[in-house]
Amino acid sequence: MADEVKTVKLYGPGGSPFVCRVKIVLNMKGIKYENFEEDIFNLSADVLKYNPVHKKVPVLVHNGNPIAESLVIVEYIDDVWKGVPILPQDPYEKAVARFWAKFIDEKCNPAAFKVFSSNGDEQVVAEACEQLQILENELKVKGTKFFGGDNIGLVDIAADFIAYWLGTIEEATEIKFVTKDKFPKLAEWADHFINCEVVKEILPPREHLLAFFKKRYECKNVVFDGLNVECFHILWRVHSEPQYPANKKEYSNLRASEGHMSLYFIITAAEYTAVKSQSKFNTLLF
């Protein structure tokens, strides 16, 4: 057991839905591991070394081998440790599960996130609902408790953000668009999922998430010395010096930080020049 702890290391904070995917699977399989909590605004040198391509958590290190990307990690764990299966054995069923997990990652989660960064724009809400409706229909057609049947599987785990985080961000931002009336099957599924012992033990306290997301979305419009800067997203790495491209669209990649909290700005090239020349901005944000 002690050896297992030494050979399995998980890098990533408990508040991240991507990290929780991995934690849920480790919990389901009863695998002991060492957890490195990590600060997503200032990732450790270990994470940057183990995941130099994406520079993100979670990262799992097993017997010294790093594995990145939550769904890849989930599948890896399922391959290595037997016991409760996460993916179906049947190749077709397995492909179907991977299809839905990919759909959640590529369509549903980004569409839902966009609702909050757009401050509840009607069109953006409609687009997110369209994606969620596809999941709702899938549950209706299957008629099962979970996407995988009677037990939790890959798709349920992939959808942990929808089950738990989404409602919390809705509360933090006061932008409610996923209702029980609109998505009764999803609501029922989410309830089953978050109340499963193996999941419940892992989920971060709701009040912590609430506080985090309130802070994250509170700065919608920020004024720096008369310059109205639209802040629509929080940002990541604190001290990395960004490259400054020449047009406004690319400026959305400008990374700045205010103390621990980082912000993500859209500003024009002219605004940038003006802002950069102001010492207040420099002290405050870099």
Is residue 63 packed enough to be buried (19+ CB in 10 Å), middle (13-18) or exposed (0-12)?
exposed
SS3 1: coil
Q: By the 8 A CB rule, do 40 and 34 touch?
A: no
- Binds ligand GSH by CB under 6 A, chosen from 40, 129, 269, 274: 40
Does residue 36 interact with ligand GSH by CB under 6 A?
no
Q: CA nearest 167: which of 189, 197, 149?
A: 189
Does residue 58 interact with ligand GSH by CB under 6 A?
yes
Among 1-9, 66-74, 86-94, 194-202, the segment contacting ligand GSH (CB under 6 A): 66-74
- Binds ligand GSH by CB under 6 A, chosen from 9, 33, 67, 70: 70
Q: What is the longest distance spanned by two Cα atoms in the chain?
A: 62
Q: By the 8 A CB rule, do 210 and 265 touch?
A: no
Does residue 69 interact with ligand GSH by CB under 6 A?
yes
Q: In the complex, what is the shortest distance from the CB of residue 43 to ligand GSH, in angstroms, rounded to a whole number?
A: 6
Does residue 56 interact with ligand GSH by CB under 6 A?
yes
Among 51-59, 145-153, 163-171, 175-183, the segment contacting ligand GSH (CB under 6 A): 51-59
Question: For 207, how many CA atoms within 13 A lie in the half-sphere containing its CB?
Answer: 0
Site size for ligand GSH, by CB under 6 A?
13
Does residue 204 interact with ligand GSH by CB under 6 A?
no
Does residue 236 interact with ligand GSH by CB under 6 A?
yes
Among 2-10, 64-72, 140-148, 183-191, the segment contacting ligand GSH (CB under 6 A): 64-72
What are 125's two structure tokens? Answer: 């809400």
DSSP code, position 149: B
How far is the C-alpha of 246 from the C-alpha of 19, rounded, in Å?
A: 35
Give the CA radius of gyration of the chain.
20
| E strands present in 149-236 | 221-224, 227-235
Q: In the complex, what is the shortest distance from the CB of residue 223 to ligand GSH, in angstroms, rounded to a whole number?
A: 26
User: Cis omega before residue 13 (within 30°)?
Assistant: no
Considering beta carbons, is residue 182 or 208 the nearer one to ligand GSH? 208
Does residue 216 interact with ligand GSH by CB under 6 A?
no
Does residue 157 interact with ligand GSH by CB under 6 A?
no
Q: In the complex, what is the shortest distance from the CB of residue 217 to ligand GSH, in angstroms, rounded to a whole number?
A: 15
Q: Where does this chain bind ligand GSH (CB under 6 A)?
A: 16, 18, 40, 43, 55-58, 69-71, 236-237
